[in-house]
Structure 1
Amino acid sequence: MKVIDIHSHFFPKTWPNLQEKFGGDDWPWLKHLPSKGEGFDKAMLMKGNKEFRPIYSACWDADVRLQQMNEHGLEQQIISATPILFAYEKPIEQALYCAQFFNDAALEICQQGKGRLFAMAQVPLQDIDVACKEASRAMNTGHVGIQIGNHVGEKNMDDEGVLTFLQHCAGEGIPVFVHPWDMMASERTKNYMMGWTVGMPAETQLSIVSMILGGGFDQVSETLKICFAHGGGAFAFLLGRLENAWHFRDIARGKSQFPPSHYLDRFYLDTAVFDHDALDLLVKKMTTNKLMFGTDYPFPLGEQKMGQLIKTSATLSPPEQQQLLATNAEQFFNLPISV
């Protein structure tokens, strides 16, 4: 079966010293580590003077990435920035510089990918006019979609500015991938990686619910292609609770014209859920038409045996497996049908 991973991340091997260029003490940078003969070059992603995440050369080396794709039977992969690079909290000139630099860097990695790597761009979402222009520029230079964070400061997905950006993407046929970041309750989830295992799924569910109850799907054109990461977080499991609240508490309806279940055909989810029961629930709620294979590669919390969750499903037929593994992604991102 053909396999396309829509959810993977990259870092350039190097980039300008943003702290020297713009000031401040919280910019991301890479501290490359001495090689210990372990097979991969490694680095520590820093945020200012604090360690943020260990990474390795799959993030920046297309050959390493292709080798591991071959080992797991992946034909194609879409790379996107890790949200620490978004710079939503920075002045717009600085955020635009970062977006353009990292967008161009992503294309440079893809150029080494032998036609198998594609990229989604980032945009400075704190300024909608600038974000729209950068989205259009990025698509014209070769990106296949745009990745955005699920909020900008206190503004959720139903913010009028964010909806204006989504309408721009709908009008230009630009696919959008929504990734959680800057997780809620950071002090209470700072231990045991709970920011990633609890905060990220909660942020993703919040982004979908805000689009529904905030009237986002009612306002934005139905032509919008939008996908949410990490299987939508807890959304599918808690849809019944959301639906019940909509029907029996008028204040729980927000601005939405219809019950939450009405909007399930308006968005996609990736399949980064790591559990067959969870995958079965997604299929039951979303149908196989609205799911796309994603791994969160090359990070430790990603799918380590890439593609095996879908390939070993006892409930999906081979045509349905192929739909999730590649067909939906080809259509969503307008990818070439053959490698």
Structure 2
Amino acid sequence: MAIDVHTHVVPADFPAYAGRAGAARWPHMQACDHPGHKTVMIGERPFRTVSDHSWDVARRREDMLAEGVDRQILSPMPELLSYWFDADDALAMAAHVNATIAGMVAADPAHFAGLGMVPLQDPELAARQMQTLRREYGLIGVEVGSNINGKPIGHPDHAPFFA
């Protein structure tokens, strides 16, 4: 069985910003000239153009069959981890991205499993959210970045999360 453990998800759309800190870096999707593609915008800056394979289960399955892959572990595109947000905004983004991944897994659990995201800029909140990943979303783990606002993942400030 071939398992691809490094496959990123980008939601087809993002909710409008509803926080208090300012929407300057809140992601949104913008149409582009390529059919089946959208551009991920971080604030007003284009970040990356992605295809519908990023959010469409049927398109992913087509690629998997063509590549001989039996299962994918879905995870957020790293830019979506949103460590630059305040914890409340990061939690809102995590809820949207985690729900997107959970929906993709639920659509085809024989071929997909999912990793979620948590607001590591608040390690204690992130630790509490780990239960939510499994209980509410059915995800099997979490993706973490190597650096959270200038602190490496092994920094003592992150100990509550790893405990």
**TM-score when scaled to structure 1?**
0.45
Q: CA, structure 1 residues 8+130, in 2 after alignment: closer, same or farther (shift >3 Å)?
A: same
Report the residue type matching 1:54 in the other structure: T
1:144 aligns with 2:143: no
Report the residue type matching 1:27 in the other structure: W
1:88 aligns with 2:83: yes
Mapped partners of 1:82, 1:116: distance in 2: 19
What does residue 12 of structure 1 align with? Answer: 11
Partners of 1:28 and 1:47 within 8 A in 2? yes
What does residue 157 of structure 1 align with? Answer: 153
Please give the per-residue CA displacement for 1:86-117, whole angstroms capped at 9, x wherever unaligned.
12121111111111221111101112225211
Tell me, what secondary structure is at the counterpart of 1:148?
coil
Decide which structure has greater strand share.
2
Where do residues 209-228 of structure 1 align in structure 2 (5 Å cutoff)?
Answer: none
Report the residue type matching 1:129 in the other structure: E
1:127 aligns with 2:126: no
Please give the per-residue CA displacement for 1:308-336, whole angstroms capped at 9, x wherever unaligned.
xxxxxxxxxxxxxxxxxxxxxxxxxxxxx
What does residue 70 of structure 1 align with? Answer: 65
Please give the per-residue CA displacement for 1:135-177, whole angstroms capped at 9, x wherever unaligned.
111022311111011111121122123233122xxxxxxxxxx
Decide which structure has greater helix share.
1
What does residue 45 of structure 2 align with? Answer: 50
**TM-score when scaled to structure 2?**
0.91
Shift in Å at residue 45 of structure 1? 1.1
Report the residue type matching 2:26 in the other structure: W
Shift in Å at residue 35 of structure 1? 5.4
Q: Which has the larger radius of gyration?
A: 1
Mapped partners of 1:157, 1:132: distance in 2: 14
Runs of 4+ aligned structure 1 residues displaced above 6 Å come to: none
Show structure 2 runs of 5+ residues with no match.
none
Over aligned residue pairs, what C-alpha RMSD do you find?
1.5
Query: How many percent of aligned residue pairs carry the same amino acid?
Result: 24
Report the residue type matching 1:3 in the other structure: A
Size of the alignment, in residue pairs?
A: 160
Partners of 1:44 and 1:51 within 8 A in 2? yes
Mapped partners of 1:114, 1:34: distance in 2: 33
Mapped partners of 1:102, 1:118: distance in 2: 14
Tell me, what secondary structure is at the counterpart of 1:45?
strand
Q: RCO greater where, 1 or 2, for CA within 8 Å and sep 6 or more?
A: 2
Report the residue type matching 2:30 in the other structure: K
Partners of 1:123 and 1:134 within 8 A in 2? yes
Where do residues 284-299 of structure 1 align in structure 2 (5 Å cutoff)?
Answer: none
Please give the per-residue CA displacement for 1:40-81, whole angstroms capped at 9, x wherever unaligned.
x01111111111111100001000000100001100000111
